[in-house]
Amino acid sequence: MSPAIKSRRNPGPNWGFRFLQVTEHRAPRWIFRPALMLGIWVGLLFMPAQRRHSRAYLRVVLGRPPRLIEVWRHFLAFTDFLMLKLRVARGVPHRSQLAPENAVEFEALMRSGRPVLMGSFHFGRSDLLGFALSDFKRRVYILRQRIGNADDTAQLRRLFGEWISFIWVNEPENLLFAIKAAIDSGGCLAMQCDRLEFSTKAEPFQFLGARRMFPFGIYHLAIVFRQPVAFCLGLPGATRDETVVQASPVFLPDEAGREANLRRAREHFQAVLVWLETLVRQNPTLWFNFLPLNPESPAPASSR
């Protein structure tokens, strides 16, 4: 692993994930849960950048300065999701249930056998969806950033075996070849479409009260390879080990030409972001981007 990748890491010690996994498994819940909640206060103290970004985001979504307890709840929601991933990684059964809206179209697409470009965001339980897609007996290629201490990802990869592969976006020398090979093989390409760090195609869209820049590359890939795009989001279900999967309408390029398809793609993505914003405002603590909000688009020269 390159020094640059080793330098990218999750907060906390290298043994932190394993410690949490073993402790939750062995300790009574009435002991583990209060200790975890207390530990989040410690995390707030030692993660000033994430705390600052959480405050800035909550100020926008709530329309007022957030209280400290609300920032703590934001960290707690993320920690609860991390614990879910660690439970799934050690083999605890996890149930994914498809919400009825757009379910027929989505299931037909997944059972068609054709390649699919699956988009998502760092919201709710969406980070598990790439693994859940293997329930359809489809080979899933997950685009994500490779970092030095991601034990949860490594364990999930071993658990799902042949159905899951990773394409590392921060190893760009083979990125396009790997994407093409995944699509040519008939697999599903799963990617999260909210962070700009590794995006070469970004465009402005309305989100949380402003025109903000979002990665748009998933649609360029769809048009080049003539393959459909669908977005999925995962929300907590009735129990802590159940996830409700919500799917968007499917975007499918047609024969109208590149510009016409791009125009339809922008309309599709804006509708997806309206859907996402509705869910974010209903569940503010489930937005897990502890980074600066997507930057606002500069106004065109003619309107300044």
User: Which tokens sit at 18?
Assistant: 């394993």
**CA-angle at 237, arms to 278 and 17, nearest 5°:** 100
Q: Is 117 helix (H, G, I), strand (E, B) or coil?
A: strand
**In this predicted structure, what is the pLDDT of residue 132?**
75
How much is the pTM?
A: 0.89
At how many degrees (to 10) do helices 68-89 and 48-62 cross? 110
Give residue limits of the domains in the chain: 93-298
d(CA 60, CA 272): 20
Place of tokens 């974010």: 280
56-107: per-residue pLDDT in tens?
999 999 999 999 999 999 999 999 999 998 888 888 888 888 899 999 999 9
Name the more confident of 14 and 200: 200
CB-CB contact of 87 with 22 (8 Å): no
Indicate the pairing of strand 140-144 with strand 188-192. Answer: parallel
Burial class of residue 246 (count of CB atoms within 10 Å of its CB; 0-12, 13-18, 19+) = buried
Q: What's the mean pLDDT in 40-45?
A: 92
Q: What is the CA radius of gyration of the chain?
A: 19
